[in-house]
Chains A and B, each alone.
Chain A
Amino acid sequence: MAELSYTDAYIADILGSVATIAMVGASPDWVRPSYFAMKYLQSKGFRVIPVNPRAAGTQILGETTYADLAAVPHQFQMVDIFRNSEAAGPIVDEAIALAQDKGIDVIWMQLGVRNDEAAARAEKAGLKVVMNRCPKIEYGRLFGELSWSGVNTKIISAKRQRLRR
């Protein structure tokens, strides 16, 4: 499989335009990666709505969990998929069907999640797609925090960085 490549501008545009994220596969277990990502994205001002049939009706990080995307009673611009690559397919199809109704613009598949067929369907439906990336890591990379962990952000600039929360 060819390596995925997204420009910084493409990712920054997504992270800059999205306000609410439906996180499919959000876990109530505080040691799981989805919990880390949800908490981090909340701290950066995103609203994150957990979607997880096994936790439906319970609260995760102050938000009510819903069984599926259709059950979420809010608008959300992005679907962040914390499921395996195969399971991502039907979730993408659900998102495509709901795109108009919910205002969905972006399908994001987490680190290790990649479903090229589903991505092609989403793009055909006019949605932006990111696969095998983590929005938490990408946000940290583009806005300077990931450098604190010794990661090669590939960002070089002599401009003074704007402080962000």
Chain B
Amino acid sequence: MTDDKKDKEFGFATRAIHAGSRPEPLTGARNTPIYQTTSYVFEDTDHAADLFNLSRFGFIYSRLTNPTVSVLEERCAALENGRAAVAAASGHAAQFLTFFTLLEPGDEFLASRNLYGGSMTQFGLSFKRLGWTCHFVDPTDPENFRKALTPKCKGIFIETLANPGGIVLDVEKIAAVARDAQIPLIVDNTMASPYLHNPIEWGADIVIHSTTKFLSGHGTSMGGVVIESGKFDWFKAGKFPTMTQPDPAYHGLTFYETFGDFGFTTKARAVALRDFGPSMAPMNAFLTITGIETLPLRMERHVANAQAVAKFLAGHPKVEWVSYAGLPSSPYHDLAKKYLPKGPGSVFTFGVKGGFDVGRRMVEGMELFSHLANIGDTRSLILHPASTTHRQLSEEQRVASGAGPDVIRLSIGLESIEDILEDLDRGLSRATK
């Protein structure tokens, strides 16, 4: 019935450079051109109608699709071994597109309480105003998700490698809970990048990235992406009318029936992106594509430097604790070895002796580390989450999510390791003087 031969599967580094990007057919330009363009000429009115009806593939308007952005989309889908992807203006926009495509007003979902603080605010407060309720769950025991499920729950959202750092979740077991409930597992894989971890391999149905971080990698470009595995059976689950019923927002089209295993991202694009408009800029897509080409090389150095820094801090007399899953002393070390065998990222937290004030002085006293709210840059970054990224949370939420008052978050960059260690040592000395 099927041919015995299989098509060649290309390696990760090859996909990072080539996926989605063939030489441009008209000119032969080898690198992906920056299509700094808004709109695309129709062949005739029938062609225009077909494009608007989604019955033909093609470009209409860059709010929906852009030839540079679509290269990035295919590349991200290829790196995560997914079926298809849709890009957005930011990681937060990607999350919005995902939940708008999944949920009806009154629906609910579960999320790990160990998330980027901005996601907790988006889910817990802003989504609530749209009629979507998020229940936060202690993710360290996967069974907690099963216990927290309600009949209205339409998804489970986690970060396998959790921000601000050090925690690794048992994604395979959480995926089993989602599968039993016939709801999708959504994984924000920003902290690990697809080089270190592929959630779809472990049962995730949807993967989200803030491409602003390691994928772009150089602190140049905002962006987000939603990737679908193509394996979730929306019909069988029977609880996703937005996927399986004729959609009044698209002239009665049934997205899953028409687009099959890329129906979710098609709907996210054709309805959510169309109607809310958080599309990625072509220039940002170009810079992110360029960044991804070196992702494997950068991630290897990121984790090597992070491991050295964690070891250094763990042995430093002015450091109270270090939360990095690459350290054998970490309670998450075994999970990290299973899910992140090439290394558990380069973002993690530690506590200085002396607490809040010493931590704040340290952040302010660094020379090489940049004090800012980002991660996944070539530059080493330092932050006090309690006063910044996790500031909108309650004290209780902050402690629960690993962003208590004494916590300092590092994103280790690609500088010479001796310089990174020297700056940390000097910062610690100055802070405790």
Contact = CB atoms under 8 A, between A and B. Distances in A.
Contacts of B251: 31
Contact of A152 (B57, B82, B266): B82
Nearest to A158: B23
A112 B58 CA distance: 25
B416 interface: no
State which size class the interface on A falls in. 35 or more
A4 interface: yes
A112 B6 contact: no
A7 B5 contact: yes
Contact of A156 (B19, B77, B83): B19
B77 A152 contact: yes
A159 B77 contact: no
A35 B57 contact: no
B37 interface: no
B84 interface: yes
Contacts of A123: 1
Binding site secondary structure of chain B? loop
B25 A160 contact: yes
A150 interface: yes
Could you say which of B23, B83, B260 has the most chain A C-beta atoms within 10 Å of its C-beta? Answer: B260
Contacts of B65: 148-150
Contacts of A145: 57-58
Interface string B10-41: 10001100111011011010100000000000
B265 A7 contact: no
A157 B260 CA distance: 26
Given A150-B70, A150-B86, A144 B22 contact: yes
A112 B252 CA distance: 20
A98 interface: no
Contacts of A97: none
Contacts of B26: 163
Given A148-B70, A158-B18, A31 B7 contact: no
A7 B6 contact: yes
A39 B46 CA distance: 11
Given A7-B7, A150-B84, A160-B23, A30 B53 contact: yes
A147 B3 contact: no
B168 to A, nearest CB: 27
A147 B84 CA distance: 9
Contacts of B3: 5-7, 9-10
B313 interface: no
Given A156-B15, A160-B22, A163-B25, A151 B258 contact: no
Contact of B260 (A9, A43, A129, A134): A134
Contact of A158 (B22, B25, B252): B22
Interface string B135-148: 00000000000000
A145 B65 CA distance: 12
Interface string B45-64: 00000100111111100000
State which size class the interface on B falls in. 35 or more
Given A5-B6, A40-B55, A162-B25, A147 B71 contact: yes
Contacts of B394: none
A156 B252 contact: no
A119 B260 contact: no
A14 B83 CA distance: 23
Contacts of A154: 7, 9-10, 78
Interface string B73-96: 110011001111111000000000
A112 to B, nearest CB: 7
B83 A4 contact: no
Could you say which of B73, B82, B258, B262 has the most chain A C-beta atoms within 10 Å of its C-beta? Answer: B258
B399 interface: no
A43 B56 CA distance: 9
Nearest to B23: A160
Contacts of A153: 20, 74
Interface in A106-129: 111-112, 116, 119-120, 123, 129
B67 interface: yes
Interface in B306-338: none
Given A31-B252, A112-B257, A120-B1, A152 B19 contact: yes
A140 B74 contact: no
B398 interface: no
A28 interface: no
26 contacts: A4-B2, A5-B2, A5-B3, A8-B7, A9-B3, A31-B246, A39-B55, A111-B260, A140-B57, A144-B25, A148-B59, A149-B57, A149-B262, A150-B70, A150-B87, A151-B74, A151-B77, A151-B84, A152-B77, A152-B83, A154-B9, A157-B18, A159-B22, A161-B22, A161-B25, A162-B25
The 4 closest A-B CB pairs, nearest first, are A150-B73, A152-B77, A145-B57, A36-B55
Interface of A: 4-10, 30-31, 33, 35-36, 39-40, 43, 111-112, 116, 119-120, 123, 129, 134, 137, 140, 144-163
Given A7-B7, A151-B84, 13 more contacts: A5-B3, A129-B1, A137-B259, A137-B260, A144-B22, A149-B84, A150-B70, A152-B83, A152-B84, A154-B10, A156-B15, A156-B18, A160-B22
